[in-house]
Each structure stands twice: as C-alpha cells, then as structure tokens.
Amino acid sequence: MAPARVIATDLGFAEGPVWTADGRLLVTSISHSVIYHVDADGSHVVAETGGGPNGMTEGADGTLYVTQNGGIYGMGDRSLNQAPPGIQAITGGAVRYLAQGLDAPNDCCFGPDGRLYFTDPRGPAQPSSLRPGRVYAMPVDGQPTLLAEGPAFANGIAFGPDASRIHAGTADADPCALGRENLQHPLDVVVSFGVVWQAIAQPAASPNRKTEMVFPSCLASEPARRRPL
C-alpha cells in the first residue's frame, strides 16, 4: 500500500467526499459553507451552499445532492454563513433547495429504488442536547417521508448487500434494527441503527490510556472507486 500523502489543506471541517462520474473528487466544507473540488493542484470552490453542507452524493445525471445542516459542525460550532436546514441540489454550480423544514440533515445516499435516503440527527453532537435521530426517504422531485425515528444522532447512512436494509450510524450505545412494524410509514425497507466506537490507546504503561466513544460519521457499503490524484 502506498503511503498516504496530503493533497489539500485548509478545507475547514471537511465532509461528504464523492468521486464523481467524470473523475473529480469533491468534498463539502461545513465550516466554509462550500463544495470543494480537490485535485493534485489543491482545492477549488465549485459551489457556495451557505450554512453547513454535510453529506453529499451524486445522481445519475451528475446533479449533486447535499444534506444542508444549517451551519452546525463539531460540538455545536456554527458557520458564519447561515442557511436553512434542508436538502440541496447543485447543478453547474447553481444551488437550489429540494426540501426544507428539517432539523439538521447529515448524510445521504441513493437507494435501489432511486429515492434519496438521508439521516437527520436534529442538532449538534452534544450529549446534553441529543434527540432521537431520524431517517427519511424522498424522490428527487418530491418531499421527504419519515421512515424511522431511533437512537440519538443518526449520522452516516448506506445500503448494504441486502437492498431491503438501510444502515445508519448513531451515538447510541445499543445497536438496534427498526423493522417494518416500527416504521412511521411502512415501506419495503428495514432501518438498522448501529454504534461506532473508537479506542484511543496509549502504551499500556501510560496513565493516559483510555477508550472513549466518538460520533460515527460516514458509511459506505462497497469499495470506493479509486482514481489517481
């Protein structure tokens, strides 16, 4: 495996990486309120979304779909450029809203039925303010439907090999699955909520050795397309 190398810096709170069909690597920047194109020469702004662009995915026609969280990042910090939370679509650098009236959409992916699925943790990653997370689905020409409300801070989302099951990362200590009987609107999917833990270990003799919980971010269900930079 080749050693990792830095190809871009000063991206702010970067999220939502996408390899586009035309070979570009794009990332969102929640704190900078923009979408960056990252290549061997650095980074270039391709769209200004305002607020906090968080998750991102590409549609079949090249349209970018962004979960706009309104400007929240980190443990409750806010972008200087506020924007309403919702789902944004970007075509040729032009940004428009597909849906508003949400709390703080976080991550998104397309399902096998062609709908856009997304999570909404409904606020910042602060233990004192966590509410039950939500998972929605929407056609790109329609409005969101609430599929499930589950553990706190629903975050990364992806379909696995079983196309009838959506996986969503959460900050809850007990992974669970919300089956059809638990859905707000019974559909042909099951929403599985899980937890991601990270061990931060110092040498065994160190008094600083510890294990702590962190909030999961992105999920992916298949190997990413690898492109040289």
**Which pair of tokens denotes residue 50?**
């305002």
CA-wise closest residue to 134 among 161, 111, 106, 115:
106
Place of tokens 């998750």: 55
Query: Which of 22-26, 85-89, 107-111, 202-206 is least confident?
Result: 202-206
**Which amino acid, one-letter code, is at 170?**
T
218 confidence band (pLDDT: 50, 70, 90): low
**What count of other Cβ atoms lies within 10 Å of the Cβ of residue 72?**
24
Nearest to 24 by CA among 71, 69, 67, 56: 56
Percent of the chain having pLDDT more than 90?
45
pLDDT in tens, 119-143: 999 887 777 667 888 999 999 999 9
Average pLDDT in the 11-39 region? 94
Is residue 80 over pLDDT 90? no
pLDDT at position 7? 84
Phi, psi of 201 (to 5 degrees): -115, 130
For domain 1-105, which CATH number applies: 2.60.40.10, 1.10.3480.10, 3.40.640.10, 2.40.10.500?
Answer: 2.40.10.500
How many helices (H) and strands (E) are present in the chain, helices listed first? 0, 20
Asked if 28 and 79 touch (Cβ cutoff 8 Å), the reply is: no
pTM higher than 0.85 for the full model?
no
Banded model confidence at residue 74, pLDDT cuts 50, 70, 90: low
